Chain A
Amino acid sequence: AQSVAQPEDQVNVAEGNPLTVKCTYSVSGNPYLFWYVQYPNRGLQFLLKYITGDNLVKGSYGFEAEFNKSQTSFHLKKPSALVSDSALYFCAVRDGGTGGFKTIFGAGTRLFVKA
């Protein structure tokens, strides 16, 4: 069965510093990986996804993520954090093998960027 883990409940970063939000996954087939961001009382907004090809995926708002097959990870990164990046971030996975169209979301990581 597919699963996704976000090992950190919270990440604290100073504005201007690089940020990393971690995600690891488990699937039986090919992984389709997604990152979403959620602001208070709002729905999820799509940031980026990995389907195939280049392991470094660039997305919205300056975010990028690196797919690492050997470590089954898909960490979200940004070179220089902004206070406005403070939000709840979700990693999600679809299993291209046996998972059907179900998308499994991680528990979320809350990012705090301090000015």
Chain B
Amino acid sequence: NAGVMQNPRHLVRRRGQEARLRCSPMKGHSHVYWYRQLPEEGLKFMVYLQKENIIDESGMPKERFSAEFPKEGPSILRIQQVVRGDSAAYFCASSPTSGGYSDTQYFGPGTRLTVL
């Protein structure tokens, strides 16, 4: 059973470009979370999605950031007009269909975004 897949693993963008990060959850999981980790810091919650629904986006910056989890295909975290401060590791996690508070989240290997 494949784990959570993220691609690309490394992404380099110039200021003003767009970054698209993809996450495929574990088989049988329909809940996806996105987190951002700055160097030497913990993970900061960004958004929680179920298929075709954004459940909690309280951690998402108000501008330039968006996320989706379509009925078919991976979840996408999109960052428009990137700035140097967006440079970070972005982690995706998935959890089983039950979606309860006690569900364990399983993490992908992360995408390391560098903005030049």
* Residue count of chain A within 8 Å CB distance of chain B: 23
Q: Decide: A102 and B105 in contact? CB cutoff 8 A.
A: no
Is B1 located at the chain interface by the 8 A CB criterion?
A: no
Contact of A90 among B43, B58, B108 (CB under 8 A): B43
Q: Decide: B43 and A51 in contact? CB cutoff 8 A.
A: no
Q: Decide: B105 and A32 in contact? CB cutoff 8 A.
A: no
**B residues less than 8 Å from A104 (CB atoms):** 45
**B residues less than 8 Å from A45 (CB atoms):** 107
Q: Decide: A103 and B91 in contact? CB cutoff 8 A.
A: no
A27-51 CB mask vs B (1 if < 8 Å, else 0) is: 0001010101000001111100101
Least Cβ–Cβ distance between A36 and chain B, in angstroms: 8
**A residues less than 8 Å from B91 (CB atoms):** 43-44
Q: Decide: B56 and A105 in contact? CB cutoff 8 A.
A: no
Q: Decide: B45 and A43 in contact? CB cutoff 8 A.
A: no
With A34-B104, A101-B48 as contacts: A43 and B4 at CB distance below 8 Å: yes
Contact of B101 among A46, A96, A107, A108 (CB under 8 A): A96
Is B69 located at the chain interface by the 8 A CB criterion?
A: no
Interface positions, chain B 48-84, Cβ under 8 Å from A, are: 48, 55-56, 58-59
**A residues less than 8 Å from B35 (CB atoms):** 105
Least Cβ–Cβ distance between B62 and chain A, in angstroms: 17
**B residues less than 8 Å from A36 (CB atoms):** 107
Q: Decide: B42 and A101 in contact? CB cutoff 8 A.
A: no
Least Cβ–Cβ distance between B6 and chain A, in angstroms: 8
**B residues less than 8 Å from A43 (CB atoms):** 4, 6, 91, 107-110
Which A-chain residue is minimally distant from B35 (CB atoms)?
A: A105
10 A-B interface contacts by CB (under 8 A)? A30-B101, A36-B107, A90-B42, A100-B55, A101-B101, A102-B58, A103-B105, A107-B41, A107-B42, A108-B42
Counting from the closest, the 3 A-B pairs by CB-CB distance are: A43-B107, A105-B42, A44-B107
